[in-house]
Amino acid sequence: MRTFYGTDLPNPLMLGTAQYPSPAILEQAFRESGAGVATVSLRREGAGGAGQTFWQMISDLNVLILPNTAGCHTVKEAVTTAHMAREVFGTDWIKLELIGHTDSLQPDVFQLVEAARILTDDGFQVFPYTTDDLIVGERLLEAGCEVLMPWGAPIGSGRGLNNEYALRAMRAEFPDTPLVVDAGIGLPSHAAHAMELGYDAVLLNTAVARAGEPATMARAMKLAIEAGQLAHQADPIEARDMAEASTPVIGKAFLT
Amino acid sequence: MTLFSIIGAGVAGLAVASELVSRGVKVQVFDPGGSPGAHGCSWWAGGMLAPWCEYENAEEPVLRLGQQAIDWWADRTPVKRCGTLVVASGRDLPDLRRFARRTEGFDKVERAKIAELEPDLAAYGKGLFFPEEAHLDPRKALQDLYRGLQEQGVDFHKKLAPAQLKNAIDCRGLHAREILHDLRGVKGEMLVVRCPDVSLTRPVRLLHPRMPLYIVPRGDGVYMLGATMIESEESSRITARSMLELLSAAYALNPAFGEAEVLEIGVDLRPAFPDNLPRIRRLGHTIYANGLFRHGYLLAPALARGVADLALENTHSEMVDEDRA
CA-based nearest distance B79→chain A, Å: 28
B187 contacts chain A (CB < 8 A)? yes
B104 contacts chain A (CB < 8 A)? no
Confidence of residue A253 (pLDDT cuts 50, 70, 90): low
pLDDT of residue B325: 78
Pairing outcome for strands B279-283 and B261-272: unpaired
Mutate to test the interface with A, among B231, B242, B279 (most CBs of A within 10 A): B231
pLDDT of residue A251: 66
Contact list, B279 vs chain A (CB under 8 Å): none
Confidence of residue A255 (pLDDT cuts 50, 70, 90): low
Does the pLDDT of residue A256 top 60, yes or no?
Answer: no
Contact B234 A48 (CB under 8 A): yes
pLDDT of residue A45: 66
Does the pLDDT of residue A196 top 90, yes or no?
Answer: yes
**In what side-by-side order are the strands of the sheet with B26-30?**
B155-157, B26-30, B3-7, B168-170, B286-290, B279-283, B320-324
CA-based nearest distance B184→chain A, Å: 7
What backbone torsions phi and psi does residue B123 show, to the nearest 5 degrees? -70, -15
Tell me the DSSP string of B29-95. EE-TT-SS-TTSGGGG---EE-HHHHGGGS-HHHHHHHTTHHHHHHTTS--B---EEEEE-GGGHHH
User: Would you tell me which residues 187-216 of chain A have a C-beta closer than 8 angstroms to some C-beta of chain B?
Assistant: 210, 212
Confidence of residue A51 (pLDDT cuts 50, 70, 90): confident
Q: Please compute the mean of the pLDDT values over residues A170-179 and round it to a whole number.
A: 95
Annotated active-site positions of A, please?
Answer: 95
pLDDT of residue A146: 96
Choose among A22, A47, A51: nearest Cβ to B275: A22
Choose among A45, A57, A212: nearest Cβ to B230: A45
pLDDT of residue A1: 66
Contact list, B276 vs chain A (CB under 8 Å): 21-24
pLDDT of residue A247: 67
- What is the C-alpha separation between B6 and B12, in angstroms, rounded? 10
CB B278 within 8 A of CB B303: yes
Global pTM reads 0.87
Q: What is the pLDDT along chain B (325 residues), one digit of tens a residue?
A: 789 999 999 999 999 999 999 999 999 999 999 999 999 999 999 999 999 999 999 999 999 999 999 999 999 999 999 999 999 998 899 999 999 999 999 999 999 999 999 999 999 999 999 999 999 999 999 999 999 999 999 999 999 999 888 999 999 999 999 999 999 999 999 999 999 999 999 999 999 887 889 999 999 999 999 999 998 888 888 999 999 999 999 999 999 999 999 999 999 999 999 999 999 999 999 999 999 999 999 999 999 999 999 999 999 999 999 888 7
> Does the model's ipTM exceed the 0.90 cut?
no
Contact A51 B231 (CB under 8 A): yes
Confidence of residue A76 (pLDDT cuts 50, 70, 90): very high
Contact list, B232 vs chain A (CB under 8 Å): 44-47, 50-51, 54
- What is the C-alpha separation between A156 and A184, in angstroms, rounded? 6
Q: Which domains does chain B have, with CATH numbers?
A: 1-83+133-181+275-325 (3.50.50.60), 84-131+184-272 (3.30.9.10)
pLDDT of residue A47: 57
Does the pLDDT of residue A141 top 70, yes or no?
Answer: yes
Contact list, B234 vs chain A (CB under 8 Å): 47-48, 50
CB A125 within 8 A of CB A5: yes
Contact B58 A21 (CB under 8 A): yes
Q: Is B137 helix (H, G, I), strand (E, B) or coil?
A: coil
Burial class (CB in 10 A: 0-12, 13-18, 19+), A216: middle
Choose among B232, B241, B277: nearest Cβ to A45: B232
pLDDT of residue A239: 84
Does the pLDDT of residue A94 top 80, yes or no?
Answer: yes
More confident residue, A239 or B95: B95
Choose among B98, B209, B231: nearest Cβ to A54: B231
Does the pLDDT of residue A17 top 80, yes or no?
Answer: yes
Over the Cα atoms of chain A, what is R_g? 20
User: Would you tell me which residues 97-156 of chain A have a C-beta closer than 8 angstroms to some C-beta of chain B?
Assistant: 156
Exposure pattern of A126-165 as b/e (b: 16+ CB <10 Å)? bbbbbbbbeebbebbbebebbbbbbbbbbbbbbebbeeee
Q: Please compute the mean of the pLDDT values over residues A92-103 and round it to a whole number.
A: 92
Q: Please compute the mean of the pLDDT values over residues A99-105 and round it to a whole number.
A: 86
Q: What is the dihedral of CA B19, B22, B28, B32, to 10 degrees?
A: 40
